[in-house]
Structure formats: C-alpha cells, structure tokens
C-alpha cells in the first residue's frame, strides 16, 4: 500500500490518501508466494535431500551434493518408469499353455478341412496336353491348330509344372472360358476318391467331398465351409465359382471365438474322439492309363493339405505328398490360441494379432492370416501385372492372367514375399505405390485361431505286394488303378489351448511404477493426493483474495475527489 500526498497551493495542510496497488499484481505476487511456500514446505517434509538443501546452516557444498542426489534419483527413477511403460506398450502380450487338458476336449473344435489334389489331373482322352504342347511350340505345325485348341493348350499349361508352362501366348483371357476348359479336362471326384469312411461309417464320397478351384486346378475338399460363408460374394465377380453352393456346406453356427452353439452335429464337422475309428479313412486311386504324364512330368500320386475350415486352400504352398501304392497314416494334434479381452485396448501391432472385428477383408468373410495373405497377393499381382491368376478371389473388373503373364505373376509373388521390389515399371502403379501396397498388407495372425500339427507315417508297397493290396478291395474294380490308403485322425482326445494374455496388467504397471517411485523418491499415493490438495487450495485462495479488493473504478473516484 502506498501513501499519496496532495498539497494545497494556499495552505500547508497535507492530505494523506491510502492508494492500493492494482489488485491483479498484488494477488499474483501473494498467490505465487503462497503457492511457493506451500510446495516447498510439502517437498521439504517429504524428501530429506531438499530439506537439507534449504537448511540455512547447511554449507553451499552440502546443498549442491544433496540437490545432485535428488536430481539423480529423480532422473533414474523416471528412466526406469519410462522403460517399464515402453515394454508395456510394445510387448503387452505373453502366450502360455494352459494345463487344464481335461476340459479341452476335441469335440469342441472342428475336424480339420482336408483338401486332396491329384498330381496327374488331365484326362488325356479328353485333351492330350503333351501332344498339343509339342505342336504349339513347333512354329510350322502350330499354324494348323484351331483357336479352340490354342486356347485349350494355353489354359491347361496354367496348372502344370513351371517348366511346362508356355511363355508365349495371351496375356489375358476370359475367366469363365479358362475355368471351363480346365474343368472339362480335369479328372472327376469318383476317379480319385473311391471309398470314404467317416467316424467308422461308410459314406458316399461325393456327399462329403466338394470340388474346389485352386492354383493346382480342380481339387476336392472335405469340411471346408461353403462359399456363402467363406467369401463376400457381394464384392466378388460372377464369371465362375470356386466351389458349388451346397446346403450341406453352410456354416451352422460355429465361430472361432464362441465355438459350437450346442453339442448337436453341425457343420463344419467336429471331432468326436482320438484314434482311427473316430477319424477319416480314404482310398485314393489313379488311373494307370488315360492320364496325361507330361503336365507334371513323371510325378504321380496326390497332394493333401490339412487346414482351418475357414481357409481357402492353397495346395501349391503347403501340402503332404502321398505316393501311389502307399499306406499312409496322418495323425494330428490340434492347438487353439485364444486372446484375453484385456488386450483389446492395445494396438494390433502391439499384441501381434487381429480380433475378428478389427480387420475386414474385401473378398473373404472370415479373417485368417492365410486368407489375408491370399487377398494381399491378389491386390499386389493386379497392381504389378494388370491381371490376376484364375484361382485368386477378385472383383468383377479384374482381368485374368494367361500364359503371357506367367512370369509377371511369379515375379510379383516373389517380390511380395521378400519385399525386394524390382525398379522395373510394370502394371497399373508406380514403384512407390507398389511398395505401399506391400507394406499395407500387414497380415498378422487372428487373435483366436486353430492349427493342426501333423505326424506322417508312410509305408510304400513293393511290386509283389501291390496285387494283394488290390485284392483287399474286392468291392471295387481296381485292375486299372494305382491305389493308396490314407487314415486321418486326432492323436489325442484333448487339444492344446494357448492363451495370449497381458504381460503387464494395469495393476502390474501401477505396482512397478509405484515400487520405483517408493524406492527412489519415497513417493506414494498419499503424496499425489497432497499435491492435488495444495493445487486446489491455492486456486481457492486466489479466488477469495480477488473478491476482497476494490475495483479500479473506486480507486479512480478517490483520486478525482482529492
């Protein structure tokens, strides 16, 4: 408060008027002083080093030492807390195997889908691929081929070995015509699978197996969900079908997250027990004559793929080769991986998986890592080549690649797998755009998934035993067939359950940070409450002090009066 002296010209009287300083300035100084004193009092009582640093009797050297100790502890504590937080965010999940095997019975999960592809797949009595391949590559004789024969030769080479794929020909073709030509010359289901026993009961093979279009041409699949549940048909082309739409292949309520709705028999077929009698027995055959042996070279037999019922099979990538005249046992152990709901708060990159609702595919209704990678390959191939392979799910406006684009398709698949993108400008996009498409794939595993680990036992029959092996199948005419017998079953009556859960829960990270603060700073929850208390108290005091001061208009009125 200051004194204002006003002296009259005609008199010696001195009038003293009390003039207050502006309210804002006084209040600010007072609040700062009050807040500073409050916090210093709090921290002095809380931490010994600060108390010693403020002690008047303490020398300057001692003050510096105590202050350095406080800063060092505070800095190192903050560093350790930051490391704990970073680990929590970057690696929030841990996968561990549960020990309650008695409750994880295999009747709660589906039997694996089985896809069978014959190695010799072209019926030479329908189309002699070896003959037309030689004619096609003879410049003079190829002029005598009709357009249908030219197109048929090119289309059939798409499902043959890489060495027997034509390099010159159409870059693009009509998808429906290519698939019709492949289906026309392919072997029939009844020529490949002669006998089927499912869980001890003989079944008609055509009632449990379905023809399916794959990279290998026409294969036959068991327990794969139908196209209505596998694909997003509204986004797909309508030129041809990958599978027939059958009522028996419709998903009847099973989901990866919730399992089967009840214990009734549903589709996909579920496991019923361990051992051969609870599995699938197949008798596979291959004609000794009338099958083309040029397309796949001298290779014969079958490819078998065990996969998730929600996956579109890719027999060119993963398979078990079954020779003819063999007795094969495929026993498998199922493992299911589930993710706790506590990990939903973390990013998919942090937990390294996608929940069902987090990643939506364009062409697949069911998200799995395999389906995501196949769709990504479709998009990348179309970007680099301007077309897609006939086996790839694709939209209505995408062209189908033919033999002239084979090298481009193989190169695109290699680039996507290795991320080694060629600088050569190809297709519909720039190099930068192609790299962006590859990076955007990010096909992480599904948070809830199932896998089957297979163990194979194979016995190959010698020449003297093959006739006897045929005679054992007296109910079939197998004089002109090469035969193989396959048993597929669960090895154990329980499946392995892996749980992906939080490595650090909320309570764990609080305990870790609280322990570090207590160890280095003597900090606790009550200290946080005290800090909030002093902050709120300081604001309230500031507000009350501002109300007690007269406003500036009264001050100006006093000045004018005197």
Residue 242, pLDDT score: 95
Domain of residue 113, residue span: 97-501
Q: Are residues 102 and 77 in the same domain?
A: no
- Asked if residue 532 is part of any domain, the answer here is no
Please write the tens of the pLDDT for every residue from 263-312. 666 889 998 889 999 999 999 999 877 888 888 877 889 999 999 999 99
Compute the average pLDDT of residues 30-48: 53
85 and 118 co-located in one domain: no
Q: What average pLDDT does the segment 85-93 reach? A: 68
Q: The domain spanning residue 132 has which CATH number?
A: 2.60.470.10
% of the chain exceeding 90 in pLDDT: 41
d(C-alpha 393, C-alpha 239), whole Å: 11
Most confident of 52-61, 399-408, 517-526: 399-408
Q: Which pTM value belongs to this model? A: 0.76
Q: What is the pLDDT of residues 509-521, one digit of tens each?
A: 667 777 776 766 6
Average pLDDT rounded to a whole number, residues 471-482: 63
Q: Residue 325, Cβ neighbours under 10 Å: how many?
A: 20
Stretch 167-193: mean pLDDT:
92
* Rounded mean pLDDT, 386-393: 95
More confident residue, 31 or 160: 160
- Asked if residue 336 and residue 398 are part of one domain, the reply reads yes
What mean pLDDT is predicted for residues 116-120?
94
Instruction: Please tell me the predicted confidence (pLDDT) of residue 51.
Output: 57
Distances (CA, A) of 503 to 168, 356, 525: 56, 22, 24
Asked whether residue 314 falls in the same domain as residue 445, the answer is: yes
Q: State the pLDDT confidence band at 546, using cuts at 50, 70 and 90.
A: low
Residues 480 and 547 in one domain: no
Q: Report the candidate in 348, 353, 314 with the shortest Cα–Cα distance to residue 337.
A: 353
Q: Is the pLDDT of residue 170 over 60?
A: yes
Query: Are residues 289 and 355 located together in one domain of the fold?
Result: yes
386 and 519 assigned to the same domain? no
pLDDT score, position 551: 53
* Residue 497 shares a structural domain with residue 508: no
CA distance 58 to 48: 13
Mean pLDDT comparison of 161-170, 419-428, 434-443, highest-scoring range: 434-443
Residue 523 confidence class, pLDDT cut points 50, 70, 90: low
Q: Where are the alpha helices (DSSP H) in 222-266?
A: 227-230
Instruction: Please answer whether residues 243 and 224 qualify as being in contact, where contact means their C-beta atoms are separated by less than 8 angstroms.
Output: yes
Residue 543 has a pLDDT of 74
Mean pLDDT, rounded, for 331-351: 88
Instruction: Give pLDDT, residue 37.
Output: 59
Number of domains in the chain: 2
Instruction: Give the C-alpha separation, 336 to 511, whole Å.
Output: 32
Q: What pLDDT, on the 0 to 100 scale, is given for residue 210? A: 96
Place 25 in a pLDDT band, splitting at 50, 70 and 90: low
Q: Is the domain of 137 the same as that of 271? A: yes
For the ranges 49-53, 203-207, 288-292, 340-344, which has the lowest average pLDDT?
A: 49-53
Between 29 and 376, the more confident residue is 376
d(CA 269, CA 267): 5
Based on the domain organization, do 78 and 148 belong to the same domain? no
Distance of alpha carbon 323 from alpha carbon 300, whole angstroms: 7
């Amino acid at each position: 408060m200051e004194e204002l002296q006003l002296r009259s010209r005609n008199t010696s009287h001195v009038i003293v008027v009390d003039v207050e300083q502006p309210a804002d300035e006084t209040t600010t100084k007072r609040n700062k002083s009050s807040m500073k004193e409050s916090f210093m009092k709090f921290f002095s009582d809380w931490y010994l080093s600060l108390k010693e640093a403020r002690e008047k009797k303490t020398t300057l050297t001692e003050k510096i030492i105590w202050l350095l100790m406080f800063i060092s502890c505070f800095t190192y504590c903050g560093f350790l807390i930051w490391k704990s937080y970073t680990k929590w965010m970057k690696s929030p999940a841990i996968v561990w195997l549960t020990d309650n095997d008695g409750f994880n019975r295999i009747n709660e999960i589906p039997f694996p889908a089985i896809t069978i592809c014959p190695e010799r797949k072209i019926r030479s009595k329908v189309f002699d691929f070896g003959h037309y391949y030689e004619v096609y590559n003879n410049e003079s004789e190829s002029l005598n081929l009709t357009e249908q024969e030219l197109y048929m030769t090119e289309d059939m080479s798409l499902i043959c070995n890489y060495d027997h794929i034509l390099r010159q020909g159409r870059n693009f073709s009509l998808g429906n015509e290519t698939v019709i030509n492949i289906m026309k010359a392919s072997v029939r289901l009844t020529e490949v699978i002669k006998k089927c026993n499912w869980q001890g009961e003989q079944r008609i093979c055509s009632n449990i197996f379905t023809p399916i279009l794959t990279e290998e041409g026409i294969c036959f699949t068991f327990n794969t969900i139908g196209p209505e549940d596998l694909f997003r048909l509204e986004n797909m082309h309508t030129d041809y079908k990958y599978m027939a739409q059958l009522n028996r292949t419709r998903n009847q309520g099973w989901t990866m997250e919730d399992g089967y709705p009840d214990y009734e028999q549903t589709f996909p077929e579920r496991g019923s027990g361990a051992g051969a009698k609870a599995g699938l027995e197949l008798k596979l055959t291959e004609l000794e004559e009338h099958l083309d042996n040029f397309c796949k070279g001298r290779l014969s037999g079958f490819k078998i793929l065990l996969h998730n019922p929600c996956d579109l099979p890719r027999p060119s990538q993963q398979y078990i080769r079954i020779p003819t005249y063999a007795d094969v046992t495929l026993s498998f152990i199922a493992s299911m991986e589930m993710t706790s709901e506590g990990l939903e708060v973390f990013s998919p990159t942090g937990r390294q998986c996608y929940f069902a609702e987090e990643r939506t595919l364009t062409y697949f209704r069911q998200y799995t890592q395999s389906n995501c990678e196949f769709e990504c390959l479709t998009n990348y191939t179309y970007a680099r080549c301007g077309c897609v392979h006939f086996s790839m799910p694709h939209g209505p406006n995408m062209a189908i690649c033919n033999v002239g684009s084979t090298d481009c398709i193989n190169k695109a698949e290699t680039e996507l797998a290795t991320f080694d993108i060629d600088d050569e400008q190809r297709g519909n996009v720039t190099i930068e755009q192609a790299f962006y498409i590859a990076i955007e794939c990010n096909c992480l595993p599904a948070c809830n998934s199932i896998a089957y680990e297979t163990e194979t036992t194979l016995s190959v029959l010698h020449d003297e035993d093959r006739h006897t092996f045929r005679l054992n199948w007296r109910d079939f005419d197998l004089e002109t067939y090469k035969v193989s017998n396959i048993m597929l079953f669960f090895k154990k009556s329980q499946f392995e359950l892996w749980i992906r859960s939080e490595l650090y829960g909320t309570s764990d990270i609080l305990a870790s940070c609280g322990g570090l603060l207590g160890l280095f700073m003597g900090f606790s929850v009550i200290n946080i409450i005290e800090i909030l208390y002093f902050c709120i108290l300081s604001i309230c005091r500031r507000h009350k002090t501002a109300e007690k001061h007269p406003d500036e208009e009264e001050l100006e009125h006093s000045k004018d009066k005197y």
